Each structure stands twice: as structure tokens, then as C-alpha cells.
A and B are shown apart, each in its own frame.
Chain A
Amino acid sequence: MHEMSIAQSILRIVLAEAQRNGARKIKTVRIRAGELRGIVPSQLSFFFQFITKDTFAEGATLDFEIVPIKGKCKPCDNVFPVLNFEFICPNCASKDVDVVEGMELAVKEIEIE
């Protein structure tokens, strides 16, 4: 259900951006969402559709780019894809791993008219 709060934030961002560019209609909103965020695209789209009624964003579609988790090993600096949420360096087996990708949650681009 946090998708509702997130949908509201997205709407705020895209309406401000549309206004800045003198747009009358927002067609597409591209979202970059890290895998760790656990965003459910269908649910987020559903809420977004619901709250954009009677705004410039009515009818806009949300496109999702899901960013896989990438870790960086602190002892050996190895950067590697984290699969199945296993934060273990394949190079040196250290568990001291920082998340460098996979926590994103951003509006990347909008398409306007």
C-alpha cells in the first residue's frame, strides 16, 4: 500500500515538471525502481491512474525500469550482481557489502505534449 504514497509523490513531481515545460498533457512517465524497493508495477499503475483523474497526467502510462541489485565488496572493491538477496562477495567471500544499485526510486523521464 505504500504504492499510494509513492503514486502521489510521482504525480507531484510530474505535474511540476509539466508546468515548467508549458505542457498540457503528460503521456508517459518513466520510473527507475531498484529491485530492493519491492515496487509492484501493476499496483503503482493502478493508484497512479486513480489519482491522476482531472489532471494533466490523466491517461498517462507508467513505464518501469527495474534496476537489479549490485553490491560492492568493502574489503576487495569487487562490484557484483547480488542474486537472491545474497550479499556475499563472489571474489573474497566477504559479507561486508554495500548496495551500490538497487535502491533507486526516481522519475527518470516524462513524455509530454
Chain B
Amino acid sequence: MKVTVLNNILEANDIIADEIRGILAPNRVLAINMMSSPGAGKTTLLERTIERLKADGVRVGVIEGDIATTRDSDRLRKFDVPIVQINTGSACHLDANMTKSALTNLDCSSIDVLFVENVGNLVCPAEFKIGEDHKVMLLSVTEGDEKPLKYPLMFRESSAMLINKIDLLPYTNFKMDEAKENALRINPRLMILPLSCTTGQGLDAWLNWVKAELAAKRKN
């Protein structure tokens, strides 16, 4: 016997993602899902970002997702901001359920911007909504300019793409124009910001983007 089902496989996740939006809404917390391959510089970017936003009076909270270890959250402790660590065990991405349980350990009334550092991976994190306002992905110049064509969903779903480690450009064969063109083919609305967490070049544009998004969220 054949039975028509037509059930969205990711529905269970999407329902919880909506619940997370509900939890963040009363305090109008801006939630940013940070995604990249391992080693692109997510944690370093967070260090620079927290440092600068804190100086500007923006209250930051962090959910750290890793398969194992607390190394990344240990690096962020010095900033004295609320951090919740999720160890996914074997899962290669954060899902809404893990994020929601992490949120119970955060006081949403005391933060303006929530950064969720996803597990380093260019494929799986893009599939699972976690109640974020924006997906932001980080591509580093040591990874190659063809990445957008290999991992289209992540580039399609992201609001902004940060191209990190531009201080290393002279030592790589990364072509900035091609990377931008490849990414914009898949997502013409993508905001592209080249930067270097080492030299600080380009960080202002990124921080201004975050602050503008926060202001927009507070206005609504």
C-alpha cells in the first residue's frame, strides 16, 4: 500500500527555530549565526568583534559550538561576556534544539547581539535554522576562490560573507574578483566584506554592519 506523506523533513527543527525567535524577540536580541570551514578564523573574528563592540557599549553574548573541547570559549573568557558552550559530540552542525537549550543558560535581557559560532563546516550548518536574524559566513583567502560554487547553499543563505586573512593575499593564488563574482552569482544580495583579523584592516566595515543591523532590529 502506498501512503502519501508530504512531510517536511526539517520541520521539527524549523518549529524549534521559530521558538528561539520567540525567546529572543522581547529583548530584540540580534542573533548572528557564524559559519565557516575549520580554521577560517571564526573565533579570532569573535575576539576582535567582542573587543570592539564592548568598547562601544554593545552587550555581546556568545554560544560556542564545537564537536569537542572548550578551547574556543576559553579564548573568549577574557572578555567577560556571557558564553555558553555546546559540544555536539559527533554532529557536524548546530541545530535548533541544541541552540535552544544553550539559550536557557543565557540572560537575554542582558545582551544586544548574540553570536552563535557554528561548527566549522561549509555544508551542514547551512541546512539547520537556529532562529538567527542573519547567517554570516567567513571565507579565508587560504581556502580558494572557487568555494562558492562548491558549497552553493551556504552562500545562497548568508546575508554577509567576510573574506578573512587578506593580509596573506600576496602569498596565495586567491583571486578576490573571482571569489566575489562566484559568490554574487549564487547570491546577488550578499554583502561582501574583505578583512584581516590580524592587521585590523576592514574590521570597521564589519562592525558598522553589525551595529546597523542591531539599530534596524531595535527600530522595528
- The answer to whether B123 touches A2, judged by C-beta atoms less than 8 angstroms apart, is yes
Of the 9-residue stretches B50-58, B90-98, B212-220, which lies at the interface with chain A? B90-98
Given A36-B153, A86-B185, CB of A111 within 8 Å of CB of B9: no
- The answer to whether B91 touches A106, judged by C-beta atoms less than 8 angstroms apart, is no
Query: What is the 8 Å Cβ interface bit string for chain A, positions 89-113, against chain B (1 contact, 0 not)?
Result: 0000001110100000111111111
- The answer to whether B124 touches A37, judged by C-beta atoms less than 8 angstroms apart, is no
Report how far A108 CA is from B8 CA in the complex, Å. Answer: 9
Smallest CB separation, A88 vs chain B (Å): 8
- The answer to whether A105 touches B92, judged by C-beta atoms less than 8 angstroms apart, is no
Within 8 A of A (CB), among B107-166: 121, 123-124, 127-128, 149, 151-153, 156
Of listed A6, A23, A112, A113, residue having the most chain B CB within 10 A: A6
Report how far A21 CA is from B91 CA in the complex, Å. Answer: 32
Of listed B128, B152, B185, B186, residue having the most chain A CB within 10 A: B152
- The answer to whether B6 touches A108, judged by C-beta atoms less than 8 angstroms apart, is yes
- The answer to whether B1 touches A111, judged by C-beta atoms less than 8 angstroms apart, is yes
Is B199 in contact with chain A by the CB < 8 A criterion? no
A111 (CB) vs chain B CBs: closest residue: B2
- The answer to whether A85 touches B152, judged by C-beta atoms less than 8 angstroms apart, is yes
In-complex Cβ contact of B91 among A5, A107, A108, A109 (8 A): A5
Interface residues on chain A, size class: 20 to 34
Is A87 in contact with chain B by the CB < 8 A criterion? yes
Question: Knowing that A21-B1, A38-B153 are A-B contacts, what are 16 other residue pairs whose CB atoms are under 8 Å apart, sorted by A's residue number?
Answer: A1-B90, A1-B93, A5-B91, A9-B12, A13-B5, A21-B3, A23-B1, A31-B9, A85-B152, A96-B188, A96-B189, A105-B8, A106-B6, A109-B2, A110-B2, A112-B1
Interface residues of B (CB under 8 A from A): 1-10, 12-13, 90-93, 95, 121, 123-124, 127-128, 149, 151-153, 156, 184-189
A-B contact pairs, 24 of them (CB 8 A): A1-B91, A1-B92, A1-B121, A1-B123, A2-B124, A4-B90, A4-B91, A5-B91, A6-B9, A6-B127, A14-B5, A17-B3, A17-B7, A21-B1, A36-B153, A38-B153, A87-B187, A96-B188, A106-B5, A106-B7, A107-B5, A107-B6, A107-B7, A109-B2
